[in-house]
Structure 1
Amino acid sequence: MPNSIAGPETALDAALPVPGQPAAAFDTGRVASLISQLLVELGEDPAREGLVGTPDRVAAWWSAFLSPDGAATATCFAESQLADQLVIVGGMSVWSLCEHHMLPMNLQVTAGYVPEGEVVGLSKFGRIAAHFAGRLQVQERFTEQFAEYITGVIGRKDVAVAVRGVHLCMSMRGVRMEAARTTTLHSGGRFATDPLLNQQFLAAAQWNAA
Structure 2
Amino acid sequence: MTTSVADPAAALCTADPVFGRPAKGIDTGRVGSLITQLLIELGEDPTREGLIGTADRVAAWWSAFLSPDGTATATRFTETQLSGQMVVVGGMSTWSLCEHHMLPMHLQVTAAYMPDGEVVGLSKFGRIAQHFAGRLQVQERFTRQVAEYLTDVIGREDVAVAVRGVHLCMSMRGVRMEEARTTTVHAGGCFRTDAVLSQQFLTVTAAQWGAP
Q: TM-score normalised to the size of structure 2?
A: 0.89
Two-structure CA RMSD over aligned residues (Å): 1.4
Question: Which residue is 1:71 aligned to?
Answer: 71
Q: In the TM superposition, what are the counterparts of 1:63-102 in structure 2 within 5 Å?
A: 63-67=63-67, 69-102=69-102
Q: CA-to-partner distance for each residue in 1:109-167, whole Å, 9 max, x for gaps?
A: 00000000010000000000000000000000000000000000000000000000000
AA in 1 matched with 2:111: A
Question: Which residue is 1:12 aligned to?
Answer: none
Shift of 1:83: 2.0
AA in 2 matched with 1:122: L
Any conservation in 1 of the 2:21–2:68 contact (CA below 8 Å)?
no
Separation in structure 1 between the aligned mates of residue 73 and residue 171 of structure 2, nearest angstrom: 36
The verdict on how the C-alpha distance between 1:16 and 1:59 changes in structure 2, with shifts beyond 3 A counting, is closer
Shift of 1:23: 4.6
Question: Which residue is 2:199 aligned to?
Answer: 199
Any conservation in 2 of the 1:162–1:205 contact (CA below 8 Å)?
yes
Q: CA-to-partner distance for each residue in 1:50-107, whole Å, 9 max, x for gaps?
A: 1000000000001111125323431111111112000000000000000000000000
Q: In the TM superposition, what are the counterparts of 1:32-43 in structure 2 within 5 Å?
A: 32-43=32-43
AA in 2 matched with 1:127: R
Any conservation in 1 of the 2:72–2:131 contact (CA below 8 Å)?
no
Question: Which residue is 2:179 aligned to?
Answer: 179
Separation in structure 2 between the aligned mates of residue 123 and residue 51 of structure 1, nearest angstrom: 38
The SS at the match of 1:117 is: strand
Separation in structure 2 between the aligned mates of residue 148 and residue 163 of structure 1, nearest angstrom: 14
Separation in structure 2 between the aligned mates of residue 190 and residue 76 of structure 1, nearest angstrom: 20
Task: Structure 1: give runs of 5+ residues left out of the alignment.
Answer: 1-14
The verdict on how the C-alpha distance between 1:109 and 1:72 changes in structure 2, with shifts beyond 3 A counting, is closer
Runs of 4+ in 1 over 3 A off after TM superposition: none
Higher relative contact order (CA 8 A, sep 6+): 1
Question: Which residue is 1:116 aligned to?
Answer: 116
AA in 1 matched with 2:84: D
The verdict on how the C-alpha distance between 1:137 and 1:119 changes in structure 2, with shifts beyond 3 A counting, is same
AA in 2 matched with 1:36: T
Question: Which residue is 1:146 aligned to?
Answer: 146
Shift of 1:19: 6.1
Q: TM-score normalised to the size of structure 1?
A: 0.90
Separation in structure 1 between the aligned mates of residue 127 and residue 143 of structure 2, nearest angstrom: 14
AA in 2 matched with 1:168: L
Any conservation in 2 of the 1:69–1:127 contact (CA below 8 Å)?
no
The SS at the match of 2:116 is: coil
May I ask how many residue pairs the two structures share in their alignment? 196
